[in-house]
Structure 1
Amino acid sequence: MADYVADGPVHESPEWGLYHLSEHLEDHSIRHCIAGDAIISILGYPLVVCDLYLAVADEQLEDALTVILQQGCQQTGGRDCYVDKKATIAPLGWPGYRLTSSELLPATVMLVPASFWHMDLSVSSLSENTFLHPTTQCRFPKRLFYLDALVNAIVDGALKPGWNILVSGYFEMKYHYLLACLSPDTLIGLPPEDRFFVDLYGRLLPPSTRQKVCFNQQQIRHGLMTVEDAWKSIPRKALEFDALQRKIRNHG
């Protein structure tokens, strides 16, 4: 693909019946893009795509539902594995609509508001943030835009009380998968706050320090803290512990 190194032709993928739904949305000028497991699967990870996540411009969500229903899909309930009864934000799991059909089973389609994915799919930003697959009409997010969205979703989940921890865990898992697919040269293009986050979030840090990493990411983004000061605020003992664990692993 233009912005990723795909493992093989998308239209030859076992999940092409799912990806093809993106083309239908594109045909109806629905601003959207593929997200979640589908991207990781295309990049070569041995994942079974149980849900095709389609991030849809919030104001076009109902239109997207109509289009997918016209393809023979029916609405179905959300997955119980994402229900977090203690949460006040998305306690029932993913917002939006979940659909399936006899042709897609056991997989389903998730139409989720783009704002929940922290994606800007506005008219003015769609072509800048997404692209069409060169041999299909499937729309994908550009890699740094997608990584930035995942970072912001993780940060939001960490800093806002009441977030659904199961959905947050999904964002975090996709973040780590995607990061493993990107070269160091690619990451140079990230904004300073995201580079700070990427440099630290994957380390073995205590929960309080990881929380500080998320807080500092937001502070840098809003111009309230420099990257240098953000690094200085990270406890030295936490970084030393991480360095020790890495040394043990490397010599294990």
Structure 2
Amino acid sequence: MTSQNPPLTPRHIAIIMDGNGRWAARRGLPRAAGHREGVRAVRRTIEAAIEHNVRWLTLFAFSSENWRRPAEEVTDLTFLLRHYLRSELNELAEAGVRLRVIGERDRFGPALEAELAAAETRTEGNERLNLVIALSYGARAEIVAAARRIAREAKAGTLDPALLDEDNFTAHLATAGMPDPDLVIRTSGEQRLSNFLLWQAAYAELIFDDALWPDFGAANLASAIAEYARRERRFGARPAMPAPVK
């Protein structure tokens, strides 16, 4: 594969939304206040993504490790998720946004699981922006689950292990049918992926923004897209050598 320049706008942007707690702590507020302000940042980012003609936006909203947080904080996060669905769904649908959820949604209980499924069904015909929310998601668990499905298929005789390749494996992931992210953004200045889309982000461009998530907005997204446009994506290939001078 030869080196190539990326298009001006990435097709798929994935964001690790980090810094709600620190945002609240710096203001002497409870962590729940940071999460509530983070919801406003989600709204701004979706609007900005649409303006930039981004086709896929994946937001890391709740990791599988977040269940280890205090029960009160988990309850606050769950309440905010339910509130977001109920307050924003009509606007998302009217804006042409299709909502998808990846992760262990069943861990949130049957009532919220049903609401998530209904939201997906309500918006499944929309094509302007594919909004993917990662809930109770962990990339290692996702890969293990895919391996288990493949093992079951191989045992049942419906899959020949000798024919297993990267495309086939990808089709068993939670993100089957989605393009890999071109750009992964993490806010709050932390510089790690934190078990987010490890398989899918193999060749993504990474940008680490110092802004805490509640402060993230259209200008931050525009800056990240501009930085992406300046980069040369090689996908593991060597850059083209210049022609010899005669």
TM-score class, shorter: under 0.3
**Normalization by structure 2: what TM-score?**
0.28
Name the structure, 1 or 2, with higher relative contact order (CA <8 Å, separation 6+).
2
**Normalization by structure 1: what TM-score?**
0.27
